[in-house]
Chains A and B, each alone.
Chain A
């Protein structure tokens, strides 16, 4: 990562992204401490490819997504989208770029306005995309609904009349309405039934093939990530721990945390693999202060003095394989 050269193939390149949130206490709401939600995160997404961002709850995946969308200001770092650094531009300059990056949310119930019909919700995106006129809007809405596998009868209906999977399709249609080139999928299937999950994932894959979309796919489900993603970045407490092409990561995981995640995947062959054990420790969200050195040492069985002195640099462990552990 650190020695990566500028690649014209990349649609999105994130470099050294940081975000910390204040912990406010007391009458004057002074910042009593800081939570480092995202620290020095760098990755890039190739045009037409999918990057999986994996990690446990609270590790900063969604914060990264919100910063890329500029829904949240970043503290440091660069977010280069199609050659433009999104961190340095004003809201007015961002406005035309907004259409290029869209998001699909985890919660299909909260992501649609309950007071807007499906046609209105998609029509809003179409208006932003410059589609004018009643007939053109209706035709394009039907086309988008058909693309995500819904009938045109859905247009006049309200979100509460649909199931979770159908709502997720509506959310995808809304995201597609502005013809984006990058879609951030923030755990799009984790709130759905397993059978519906497969439908949505196949839909996302088909859309990528048909429209040449790039995805940043955020998930904690490695099965899904292994199926959909071309590269995977593993995040732990705000840092990327390991970053590699999908097959490489699944076959030769180097970081103990990646081992842990892979061992947690339900697998018919799981009985054959020795399950990775970890130290009992507090979940990260309840312990804002970080340990000295490697931040995974509190959970890592194989930790010693060198972990506490570890500088925390991402090192290249193979062709296109980066890891943040001195043992690798």
Chain B
């Protein structure tokens, strides 16, 4: 390295560290973690199976039809050949073989498993997508704006609007509408230049509205604590019992009840990131809060979120399977791993494959996600990395 500072036009220091992108570094560490790599491989196979399953089992003339009932061929063991003589041509399974056997209605379990894979995959990803989005949002607000107080004015306004909504819901139409309209007028007034918080020097009687009541952090994190008090599986059972049974309801409900962990992670990361110099530098440049949160802080807080999301996918798949097993999941004609398992339990001694095949599939996928998630945690945490 040169010691003299020369004319600025002549660069005197060249980057010294070896050039390695983040992805190369990630891949290098992943290859060394064989369990995580196995998890990733199983995840890849699962993804391929689920996507192939959609193409093979849907449409007007699917290659593998999961809904063909062949009562004369019921409870056939895996790998048994179909009896071509007793079936109509379009009832014969692909290649004439029941790969995973048939169930009590003679439906092809392989086709049903393929159809169910897509359900598990989408439930896992959509539910976790919802929960991560809510978790990052809530955690970011609690971490970034947490130390600010909610003003008395805002509490009163929120109570007023909620009261109006409650009146409407209770059937007191006229009064509820009047309250809501007045509430909105109040809202617009408060964000106008004449609002209390916008005035340079509000009159003394108005200042009481500016009084801080409760911290943003307290509101959000106590709400998280309350949400965590409910056993989430029973909360989901209750909600699913009240709402129409559909795969989308289940995804949304699982997503809405599992964001608390992510929110806590993101809040903790934000609390430490907001004190970092690069955040102060961005604020000194005049970068807006929104951009600081999403461009500067979130990318640095994403590692623990990614880990909890991966493990969250496993638990969402498990929750969906549990709900389907109990009969609260996706309605019956559509196959899911949970309801195949549930249907099979009556024949566990006569046809054990009906229980073991979906059970093993759930076990394998959940285990793969958990192993990959744990490996990801080790890879993304620089403190746990081995130096070499």
Contact = CB atoms under 8 A, between A and B. Distances in A.
Contacts of B8: 146-149, 203, 206
Interface stretch (A108-116, A253-261, A273-281): A108-116
A203 B5 contact: yes
Interface stretch (B9-17, B66-74, B172-180): B9-17
A102 B197 CA distance: 29
B288 to A, nearest CB: 9
Nearest to A157: B15
A110 B278 CA distance: 6
* Residue among B3, B9, B19, B281 facing the most chain A CB atoms (10 A cut-off): B281
B285 A163 contact: no
22 contacts: A66-B280, A69-B280, A69-B283, A96-B286, A110-B276, A113-B282, A124-B285, A124-B295, A128-B287, A146-B9, A149-B10, A153-B14, A157-B15, A160-B17, A177-B285, A178-B285, A195-B3, A199-B5, A199-B12, A202-B5, A203-B5, A203-B8
B299 A115 contact: yes
A150 B13 CA distance: 6
A208 to B, nearest CB: 13
A161 B285 contact: no
Interface string B1-33: 101111011111111110100100000000000
B243 interface: no
B12 A149 contact: yes
Interface in A188-213: 195, 198-199, 202-203, 206
Interface residues of A, number: 52
Given A98-B285, A125-B285, A166 B11 contact: no
A151 B285 contact: no
B300 interface: yes
Contact of A105 (B14, B15, B17, B281): B281
Interface secondary structure of B, over-half rule? loop
Interface in A158-189: 158, 160-163, 165-166, 169, 171, 174-175, 177-178
Interface band, chain B: 20 to 34
Contacts of B284: 69, 71, 98, 101-103
Interface string A134-152: 0000000000011111110
Contact of B286 (A99, A113, A147): A99
A147 B276 CA distance: 26
A147 B5 CA distance: 12
A149 B11 contact: yes
Contacts of A319: none
* Residue among A110, A149, A175 facing the most chain B CB atoms (10 A cut-off): A149
B16 A163 contact: yes
Contacts of B12: 149, 199
A313 B280 CA distance: 34
A211 B277 CA distance: 25
Contacts of B151: none
Interface in B261-315: 276-278, 280-287, 295-296, 299-300
A107 interface: yes
Contacts of B15: 153-154, 157, 161-162, 166
B5 A206 contact: yes
A92 B33 CA distance: 50
B287 A124 contact: yes
State the 9 A-B residue pairs at the shortest beta-carbon distance, nearest first: A98-B286, A151-B11, A111-B277, A115-B299, A202-B5, A161-B17, A105-B277, A110-B277, A113-B278
Nearest to B21: A158
Contacts of A111: 277-278, 281
Contacts of A125: 285
